[in-house]
């Protein structure tokens, strides 16, 4: 006998996480007769930041039937080829974490191996490692076009994501979800009804006395973590011993004329500053550790560092880095900030939301709630969080900055074993250790290792068989062909004006 299907799913919260979950779940379950409803409180509002993404967002939008042009026009969106890191290795240094891969038409040898040997032979004349990543070359040239499917094309190996206005994205998803049948309830949740025997959530009570019941609850209530924390008391695993940043000032500034197709992350005394170019304005923020920099100092530093006039008063956000021990507890799944927050350095929160939603759909329970489904969900989601945590910690751990206590402490902190082993393996062999459920794969780790100055000691023995002049010459040709290919593209601003200019 087929077990009874879920009758109703209630999404608690209408920020990016809530509306992404409502849209995707509704598409997955509506034909089976399950209703998806969402409750949110306009009086509480949404966190309203979260403007940069990684390339997987494209798959999410595609899966829910949201085409790219509509999305970019509605959200004042721009294209993101990666992140420029400034002053992380030390003041004056910069490098790029580009999306996609380094140009790989080098036979069986990786671009990194070529570059290391060329560097041994001709030093700086081998160019920056960035010069072999099309996304980095295009970003620095301020150019953009979509990748080419043909693997012989210089435009084949890069990928891209988006910058967008988080509030407008939530609004767009809401319109779409409501059109497709999701019912929205406005109101503040003030109480929860639990089944006395099973501890399952039966329903929530709103301030005005209405009761909303469901079989499955998706906790997208943001940092409040209304159900996962407040009702179910699921423990929080704190990452702050490695990632002590716990505040951010955020402020919009005037649009940048040239519209750089990338996020900038600049290391500062007690954290780092983001710059995210949108069509109508630029998003900025200083993410900092309040144990090292006062709120007033951080605010002043951010305002002094803007590339354009501030358009509003800075807004302070407080957070703690870490995650819930389990995300799916009984009949409640926490997704978004209610489930944890790693910190926004690599723009990973929305991709964690996406991973959570996709995983839930593939492990969707029926009314019997087989505990094996929750256990598998929790296992994978925890790995994904912890892999991202390691990747982010590495940005701080490998710094050569020693100008403040914040950076000195980061250089000497004890690392999670999973990260320490990866760093040692790369240092000694040049090999990137990949574990399962990684969001960031080999080229990303290489970009960060090399960018932060970790050059492996060993050279690939197979490279010794190649003519040294040939290696140097092939890299020189590749570098110049990428630069020429980038120069042939429209500027990012021209591309947007032509294809997806937002109104208003
Ligand atoms: C400083 C900072 C920078 C960030 N930058 C990025 C980035 O660049 N890229 C990225 O991917 N992510 C980023 N994030 C994370 C990103 O903002 C979030 O992951 C994303 O916005 C999802 O938030 P959310 O939907 O979980 O929570 P929220 O947006 O806070 O939504 C919570 C919802 O719950 C509702 N709610 C809460 N309590 C109740 C109640 N009692 N009754 C009814 N409703 C209730 C609220 O009304 C709201 O609708 C950043 C976060 C911070 C703090």
pLDDT at 121: 92
pLDDT at 220 over 80: yes
pLDDT at 248: 98
Q: What are phi and psi of 377, to 5 degrees?
A: -60, -50
| 354 C-beta closer than 6 A to ligand 1 | no
**What's the rounded mean pLDDT across residues 201-211?**
98
Number of independent structural domains in the chain: 2
The minimum-distance atom of ligand 1 relative to the CA of 339 is 26
pLDDT at 311: 97
| 53 C-beta closer than 6 A to ligand 1 | yes
| 430 C-beta closer than 6 A to ligand 1 | no
pLDDT-based confidence at residue 466 (cuts at 50, 70, 90): confident
| 335 C-beta closer than 6 A to ligand 1 | no
**What's the rounded mean pLDDT across residues 81-107?**
91
- Is 306 a member of any domain? yes
Q: Give the alpha-carbon dihedral of 216, 222, 223, 226, to 10 degrees.
A: -30
- Is 427 a member of any domain? no
80 is catalytic: yes
Out of 109-113, 241-245, 388-392, which region has the weakest mean confidence (pLDDT)? 109-113
Helices (H), 262-305: 295-304
End-to-end CA gap in the chain: 55
| 220 C-beta closer than 6 A to ligand 1 | yes
- Is 64 a member of any domain? yes
pLDDT tens readout for residues 316-363: 999 999 999 999 999 999 999 999 999 999 999 999 999 999 999 999
Strands (E), 23-66: 35-40
pTM: 0.97
pLDDT at 106 over 70: no
Q: Are 335 and 219 contacting, i.e. CB atoms less than 8 angstroms apart?
A: yes
- Is 95 a member of any domain? no
Q: Are 229 and 284 contacting, i.e. CB atoms less than 8 angstroms apart?
A: no
Do both 58 and 185 map to the same domain?
yes
Burial class (CB in 10 A: 0-12, 13-18, 19+), 13: buried
Whole-number percent of the chain with pLDDT over 70: 98
pLDDT-based confidence at residue 107 (cuts at 50, 70, 90): low
Tokens found for residue 362: 């593939």
The secondary element (H helix, E strand) that includes residue 392 is helix 371-397
| 224 C-beta closer than 6 A to ligand 1 | yes
How high does pLDDT run on average in the chain? 96
CA–CA–CA angle 316, 347, 432 (5° rounding): 140
Q: Which residues of 81-104 are buried (b: 16+ CB within 10 A; e: fewer)?
A: bbbbbbbbbeeebbbbbbbbbbbe
The minimum-distance atom of ligand 1 relative to the CA of 263 is 8
Among 14, 45, 49, 60, name the best residue to mutate to test ligand 1's pocket (greatest count of ligand atoms within 8 A of Cβ).
49
Do both 190 and 257 map to the same domain?
no
| 172 C-beta closer than 6 A to ligand 1 | no
Compute the radius of gyration of the chain from its Cα atoms: 24
Instruction: Report how far ligand 1's centroid is from the alpha carbon of 45 (Å).
Output: 9
Instruction: Report how far ligand 1's centroid is from the alpha carbon of 440 (Å).
Output: 23
Task: Give the CATH number for residue 225.
Answer: 3.50.50.60
- Is 313 a member of any domain? yes
**End position of a domain, from candidates 317, 349, 368:** 317
pLDDT tens readout for residues 371-429: 999 999 999 999 999 999 999 999 999 999 999 999 999 999 999 999 999 999 999 99
3-state secondary structure (DSSP) of residue 173: helix
Among 10, 42, 44, name the best residue to mutate to test ligand 1's pocket (greatest count of ligand atoms within 8 A of Cβ).
44
Whole-number percent of the chain with pLDDT over 90: 92
Do both 343 and 255 map to the same domain?
no
- Which one from 80, 176, 230, 320 is the annotated catalytic residue? 80
The secondary element (H helix, E strand) that includes residue 263 is strand 263-268
Q: What are phi and psi of 322, to 5 degrees?
A: 150, -175
**What's the rounded mean pLDDT across residues 152-174?**
95
| 271 C-beta closer than 6 A to ligand 1 | no
Alpha-carbon span 459 to 430, nearest angstrom? 8
| 221 C-beta closer than 6 A to ligand 1 | yes
Do both 326 and 312 map to the same domain?
no
Do both 235 and 328 map to the same domain?
yes
Which strands make up the sheet holding 315-318, listed edge to edge? 94-98, 82-86, 263-268, 271-277, 282-288, 247-253, 315-318
Alpha-carbon span 136 to 264, nearest angstrom? 12
For residue 376, the number of C-alpha atoms closer than 13 Å in the C-beta half-sphere is: 12
Q: Are strands 183-186 and 161-163 parallel, antiparallel or unpaired?
A: unpaired
Helix crossing, 468-487 with 134-141: angle to 10°?
40
3-state secondary structure (DSSP) of residue 234: coil
**What's the rounded mean pLDDT across residues 124-145?**
97
pLDDT-based confidence at residue 137 (cuts at 50, 70, 90): very high
Among 207, 251, 336, name the best residue to mutate to test ligand 1's pocket (greatest count of ligand atoms within 8 A of Cβ).
336
Do both 170 and 68 map to the same domain?
yes
Do both 283 and 372 map to the same domain?
no
Do both 175 and 209 map to the same domain?
yes
Alpha-carbon span 39 to 184, nearest angstrom? 6
Q: In terms of Cα–Cα distance, which of 119, 175, 3, 129 is closest to 471?
A: 119
Do both 12 and 63 map to the same domain?
yes
Alpha-carbon span 106 to 111, nearest angstrom? 7
Do both 367 and 235 map to the same domain?
yes
Instruction: Report how far ligand 1's centroid is from the alpha carbon of 128 (Å).
Output: 37
| 439 C-beta closer than 6 A to ligand 1 | no
Q: Are 271 and 289 contacting, i.e. CB atoms less than 8 angstroms apart?
A: yes
Among 11, 16, 58, 243, name the best residue to mutate to test ligand 1's pocket (greatest count of ligand atoms within 8 A of Cβ).
16
Instruction: Report how far ligand 1's centroid is from the alpha carbon of 244 (Å).
Output: 20
**What's the rounded mean pLDDT across residues 16-42?**
97
pLDDT at 461 over 70: yes
pLDDT at 487 over 70: yes
pLDDT at 468: 81
Q: Is the dihedral of CA 282, 99, 413, 353 positive or negative?
A: positive
Q: Are strands 322-324 and 236-238 parallel, antiparallel or unpaired?
A: antiparallel
Domain enclosing residue 275, as ranges: 247-317
pLDDT at 426: 97
């Amino acid at each position: 006998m087929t077990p009874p299907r879920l009758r109703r799913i209630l999404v608690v919260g209408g920020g990016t996480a809530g509306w992404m979950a409502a849209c995707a779940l509704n598409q997955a379950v509506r034909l089976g007769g399950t209703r998806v409803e969402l409750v949110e409180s306009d009086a509480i509002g949404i966190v309203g930041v979260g403007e940069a993404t990684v390339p997987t967002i494209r798959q999410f939008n595609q899966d829910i039937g949201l085409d790219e042009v509509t999305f970019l026009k509605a959200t004042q969106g721009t294209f993101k080829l990666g992140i420029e890191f400034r002053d992380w290795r030390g003041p004056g240094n910069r490098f790029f974490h580009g999306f996609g891969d380094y140009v790989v038409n080098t036979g069986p040898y990786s671009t990194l191996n070529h570059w290391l040997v060329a560097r041994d032979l001709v030093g700086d004349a081998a160019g920056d490692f960035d010069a072999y990543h099309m996304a980095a070359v295009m970003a620095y040239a301020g150019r953009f076009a979509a990748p080419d499917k043909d693997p012989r094309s210089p435009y084949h190996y890069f990928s891209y994501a988006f910058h967008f206005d988080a509030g407008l994205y939530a609004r767009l998803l809401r319109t779409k979800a409501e059109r497709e049948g999701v019912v929205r309830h406005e109101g503040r949740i003030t109480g929860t009804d639990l089944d006395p025997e099973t501890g399952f959530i039966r329903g929530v009570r709103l301030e005005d006395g209405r009761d909303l019941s469901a079989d499955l609850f998706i906790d997208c209530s943001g940092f409040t973590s209304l159900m996962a924390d407040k009702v179910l008391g699921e423990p929080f695993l704190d990452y702050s011993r490695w990632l002590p940043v716990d505040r951010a000032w955020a402020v919009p500034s005037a649009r940048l004329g040239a519209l750089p197709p990338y996020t900038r992350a600049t290391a500062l005394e007690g954290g780092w500053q983001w710059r995210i170019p949108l069509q109508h304005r630029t998003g900025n923020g200083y993410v900092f550790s309040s144990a090292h920099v006062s709120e007033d100092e951080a605010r002043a530093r951010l305002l002094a560092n803007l590339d354009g006039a501030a358009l509003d008063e800075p807004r302070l956000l407080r957070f703690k880095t870490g995650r819930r021990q389990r995300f799916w507890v009984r009949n409640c799944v926490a997704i978004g900030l209610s489930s944890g927050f790693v910190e926004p350095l690599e723009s990973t929160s929305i991709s964690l939301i996406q991973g959570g939603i996709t995983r839930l759909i593939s492990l969707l329970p029926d009314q019997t709630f087989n505990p094996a489904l929750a256990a598998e969900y929790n296992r994978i989601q925890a790995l994904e969080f912890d892999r991202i945590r390691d990747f982010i910690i590495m940005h701080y751990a490998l710094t050569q900055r020693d100008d403040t206590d914040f950076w000195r402490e980061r250089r000497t902190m004890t690392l999670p074993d999973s990260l320490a082993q990866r760093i040692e393996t790369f240092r000694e062999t040049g090999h990137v250790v990949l574990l399962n459920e990684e969001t960031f794969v080999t080229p990303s780790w290489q970009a960060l290792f090399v960018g932060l100055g970790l050059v492996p000691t060993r050279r690939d023995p197979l490279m010794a068989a190649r003519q040294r002049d040939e290696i140097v010459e092939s890299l020189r040709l590749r570098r110049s062909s990428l630069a020429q290919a980038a120069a042939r593209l429209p500027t990012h601003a021209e591309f947007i004006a032509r294809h997806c200019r937002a109104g208003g």
